Structure 1
Amino acid sequence: MKTKILIVEDDKIVSFEIQSILNQNGFDSTICESYNCCIKNLDTFKPELILLDIDLSKKYEGIQIGSYLNSKSRIPFIYITGYTDTETLKRIQTTKPVAYLSKPFREIDVIGNIELALYNKKASFDDIGNYEVEEESKYSKPIKRALEYIDTNINQEIKTDELIRVSGWSKFHFIREFGKEVGKTPYQYVLDEKMKLASSKLKNTYQTVKEIAFDIGYTSNSSFTNAFVKHSGISPSSFRKKYCR
């Protein structure tokens, strides 16, 4: 079976050039142009590696995806960038990519970095295999379904009733078991995950607070700010000033 690689790039000339290189070297690939498309394809295409442009339609949108992958997934990713300035490289490093390719790139560089990333991924998975088995047994299947739903839909409003439906349990049983297995209520878990993602965006992107609010499922800037202050004890703007000097 061919190794699946997701190309996240909104420049059609570049994305088709990369896809042609991958096809010629025996990989299975598909192309995405946005954050939402990428997140969707994590479940539908199930890539083993992601090639990720750092800009896309919004400046540094690729770094937002990198932040998400770093916190929510073990899929390795390689940044594609035309930037080599210190500030950009610093932001790239915080999201822990396995490598980065500078434009213009050569076929040998693309394939060499991919092969190294896939080799390191296999070695890493071999090392933590026993740990993953332990993690798999940590949650019951209904709770795992709810947690996977949260991860996939973290950029939308997530209601407890929908988590109950996904789990297949009754409301009382789901809330009781969720608290027992996860250690917090569904509402608190969702809030914590949204705030983690918001914090990462504030640190690693140039998105405005309003853009971040809408990106993680809040309908207004004020409701997001109030939630962030309640959760972190500091406003989003103050958080950014404190950690992004």
Structure 2
Amino acid sequence: MKTKVLVVEDDKLVSYEIKTILDKNGFDVNICDSYACCIKNLDTFKPELILLDIDLDKKYEGIQIGSYLNSKADIPFIYITGYTDIETLKRIQTTKPVGYLSKPFREIDIINNIELALYNKKASQDDVTNPEEQQEESKYSKPIKRALEYIDTNINQEIKTDELIRVSGWSKFHFIREFAKEVGMTPYQYIFDEKMKLASSKLKNTYQTVKEIAFDLGYTSNSSFTNAFVKHSGLSPSNFRKKYCR
């Protein structure tokens, strides 16, 4: 059965171009051009993934849809955008997309982003039903589980220890001590390692630029991301990609 992809785009030329690419690559595609049409298709078409333009009707309506999907539906979505300014990127991160495509885009970028998103969704579903994974999680107390879940869902943003403390419900001293005891490292180190693991995966498996990956992970500049990645791997992001993606 073909994977269902909903394209939400009010530029007919762009939506037709995307549909042509997806048809050629074996996807079942439907097109919408508004908030109302998209919400209706969640029930009628039942998409497995959504490609979502940010600037529908010139009103950032796409971000409203993203917020709805993030809170009400378990459907991964990828933003389509002509904007690459920091403020817009920060704004879309709060809705937790699985990625974004900058116009103009290449066919290979569309397909790779979709395949990665679908793979990650399947992997997360497998984790839920995996008895070994459930047994592994059982070693954590509920407050630490809540903190780890918060980190996982907000990995593309700056995560502050004070927010983890609030989520856990413990005092600062108790939380930091128990986190290190149960997880084996400090909250800062755990967040850093998780961001670098995701960065490594993106560098190996996607055609996203280093700048795009940096913003996806909540870094405000290429240099801060590059310095962090060098600290983690001993290689710059571009050299890491050259070494492992030949």
Q: TM-score range by the shorter chain?
A: 0.5 to 0.7
Give distance in 1, aligned partners of 2:158 and 2:170.
21
Q: Report if aligned partners of 1:39, 1:152 keep a CA contact under 8 Å in 2.
A: no
Shift of 1:134: 2.3
One-letter identity of the residue aligned with 1:57: T
| Corresponding residue number in structure 2 for 1:183 | 184
Contact 2:49 2:118 in 1 (8 A): no
Pair 32,91 (structure 1): closer, same or farther in 2 beyond 3 Å: closer
1:37–1:156: structure 2 CA closer, same or farther, 3 Å change rule? farther
TM-score where L is the length of structure 2: 0.59
Letter aligned with residue 198 of structure 1: A
Deviation at 1:207, TM superposition (A): 2.8
* The one of 57, 72, 87 aligned to 2:81: 57
Q: Structure 1 pair 184/8, CA: closer, same or farther in 2 (3 Å)?
A: farther
**204-213 or 172-181: bigger deviation:** 204-213
* 3-state SS of paired residue (1:56): strand
For the structure 1 residues 226 and 22, does the alpha-carbon distance in structure 2 shift closer, same or farther, using more than 3 Å as the test? Answer: closer
SS at match of 1:138: coil
Give percent identity, aligned residues only.
58
Counterpart residue number, 1:108: none
Give the AA of the match of 2:135. E
Amino acid in the other structure paired with 2:43: N
Question: C-alpha separation between the residues in 1 aligned to 2:120 and 2:175?
Answer: 38
Instruction: Say whether 1:161 aligns with 2:162.
Output: yes
Aligned-residue RMSD, C-alpha: 4.4
Q: 1:36 to 1:218 in 2, by over 3 A?
A: farther
Aligned to 2:233: 232
Letter in 2 for 1:11: E
Does the CA contact (< 8 Å) of 1:32 and 1:38 recur in 2?
no
Contact in 1 for aligned 2:8/2:38 (Cα 8 Å): no
In structure 2, runs of 5+ residues without a counterpart are: 16-30, 55-61, 83-96, 100-105
Aligned counterpart, 2:119: 97
Q: Figure out how many residues of one structure are paired with residues of the other and give that number.
A: 193
Does residue 45 (structure 1) correspond to residue 72 (structure 2)? The answer is yes
Partner of 1:23: 43
Task: Give, in whole Å, the separation in 2 of the partners of 1:38 and 1:165.
Answer: 29
Where has structure 1 moved over 4 Å in runs of 4 or more?
A: 16-22, 27-32, 34-43, 87-96, 124-127
Taking the aligned partners of 1:193 and 1:125, their CA distance within structure 2 comes to 17
Equivalence for 2:199: 198
Separation (CA, whole Å) in 2 of partners of 1:190 and 1:37: 28
Give the direction of change, closer, same or farther, for the CA distance of 1:7–1:145 in structure 2 (3 Å limit): farther
- Aligned CA distance change for structure 1 residues 39 and 216 (closer, same or farther; 3 Å): farther
Aligned to 1:221: 222
Q: In the aligned structure 2, how far is the partner of 1:43 from the partner of 1:91? A: 18
Q: CA deviation at 1:227?
A: 0.8
TM-score by length of structure 1 reads 0.59
Q: CA 1:193 to 1:125, structure 2 compared with 1: closer, same or farther past 3 Å?
A: closer
